Structure 1
Amino acid sequence: MNPQTKEKLMQVSVATLATALYKRGLRSQVIQGVHPVGPKGRNMVGPAFTLRYMPAREDRNQLVEFRNPEHPQRVAIETCPEGHVFVMDSRKDPRAASAGDILLTRLMMRGGAGVVTDGGLRDAATIAQLDMPCYHQRPSSPTNLTLHEAIEINVPIGCGDAPVFPGDIIVGDDDCVIVIPAHLAEEVADEATEMTAYEDFVVEQVKEGAAIIGLYPGTKQENLDKFAAWRKANNR
């Protein structure tokens, strides 16, 4: 992705991005129900590379399937491009794990930017220590074969009720994850950067005792004038 766009998205919150997308009529871009396995104190940003799970059929999903070199879950780990976020449609079902620490460590070593599943992850305590942001519903020990079959790589999916198309820009912070349609990424990053500057100004004003009305949103000219002076003083 565009390095300048990525850098801007590294500095803004998912909440701010959600508002920017809402202005454009997009209300369902936050991936619902997922949380950081371990907070990283920095944003996860990258294009989406997807894996879709479907309900497992018992005769197709024995442990021997993992010996198949063409198994979609394994192939996805080995083909997800560097800098991409691996996003899994696990049917919003955390009863069986979407992946574990060995596969995600391999993804990290290959340069993956992060992982998102609307299911669960096994070995969650170990995954939380990886230097790669990972998001899931909750820890889950059973292998995915018990309930889910990895069936399709890099296709449009639903993850936590959000539509995800390959190449969409995924942003995660220490709260949650959002999906930015690829064609909107640059303009949304620009707007969110502007919104973040104003919000930082507002926080300072509120801590100094300012009232919210007329400040947030900025409907009084005196507050806009103060903001302009604040931006100049703070090089924002």
Structure 2
Amino acid sequence: MNETATDKNVARAALLDTATLSDALDRLGIAGQCHRIKGRDPHMHLAGRACTIKYGPASTPPGTVGDYIDDVAPGTVLVLDNDGREDCTVWGDILTEIAHRRGVAGTVIDGICRDVALALQLEYPIFSRDHWMRTGKDRVQVEAVNVTVNIGHARVQPGDILRGDADGVIVIPAEHEQAVLEAAEEIHAAEMHIREAVRRGMRLDEARRELGYHQLQTRRR
């Protein structure tokens, strides 16, 4: 069974967009916005808990780039830290096919991927800095699995919630997920009330003032 379907907080995150979650993170003073990481297609979206992979320069002889895939649980988001490198890939069509078949929720890369056509065909979500065809074989290798990594200047630990949509990727630290989700749900509800008020004929500035729009994401102590 897909773990997303049985994980209540992942399901809650999946109902919220990354912009709303970003505002909630700002309110709580948490840096969870993954800078410059975006979907290879704006229709891609994902939600799930992180399985992290840390890459480093290849040794002599070089190590593996992607043999971890058979041990990844369904519903997991693979989070690959290649130190932002854009000169070689750490993800391609074989990994996409296997991850899709295994029910992996998606892949997030601080770096680049290749073979985007298959990901689009299978509707498998990949979020990365960019895509390019040059292989990572003999250039990088897996250094560690399920360790703390950095994705777009955001800290990601195994088990953190990742949410991705057309605006990018958010990481929700496991130790703060309840507070982040509650704040995001409050912000979402306030914004929906503003829209409903405007549809009834209220001025936007009045609706925003009445519902405290300009303070929704303000840091609270």
Q: TM-score range by the shorter chain?
A: 0.7 to 0.9
**Cα gap change, 1:218/1:48 in structure 2, threshold over 3 Å: closer, same or farther?**
farther
State the distance in 1 between where 2:84 and 2:35 align.
9
Deviation at 1:130, TM superposition (A): 2.2
Corresponding residue for residue 37 of structure 2: 34
Deviation at 1:158, TM superposition (A): 0.6
Preserved contact between residue 96 and residue 146 of structure 1 (Cα < 8 Å): no
State the distance in 2 between where 1:74 and 1:162 align.
25
Aligned sequence identity (%): 30
Q: How does 1:129-208 map to 2 (within 5 A)?
A: 129-206=121-198
Corresponding residue for residue 89 of structure 2: 97
Of 197, 207, 213, the match for 2:205: 213
State the distance in 2 between where 1:55 and 1:211 align.
57
Q: TM-score, normalised by structure 1?
A: 0.79
Supply the RMSD in Å over aligned alpha carbons: 2.2
Of 15, 21, 42, the match for 2:19: 15
**Cα gap change, 1:183/1:209 in structure 2, threshold over 3 Å: closer, same or farther?**
same
Deviation at 1:183, TM superposition (A): 2.0
State the distance in 1 between where 2:167 and 2:211 align.
29
**Secondary structure at the counterpart of residue 92 of structure 1:** coil
Corresponding residue for residue 52 of structure 1: 54
Of 95, 101, 105, the match for 1:113: 105
**Bigger fraction of residues in strand:** 2
Unmatched 5+ stretches in structure 1: 66-70, 221-236
Deviation at 1:40, TM superposition (A): 3.3
Q: Judge which range, 127-136 or 167-176, deviates more.
A: 127-136
Deviation at 1:196, TM superposition (A): 1.2
Deviation at 1:150, TM superposition (A): 1.7
Deviation at 1:149, TM superposition (A): 2.0
**Secondary structure at the counterpart of residue 91 of structure 2:** coil
Q: TM-score, normalised by structure 2?
A: 0.84
Unmatched 5+ stretches in structure 2: 213-221
**Cα gap change, 1:156/1:198 in structure 2, threshold over 3 Å: closer, same or farther?**
same
Deviation at 1:72, TM superposition (A): 5.8
Aligned pair count reads: 208
State the distance in 1 between where 2:26 and 2:40 align.
27
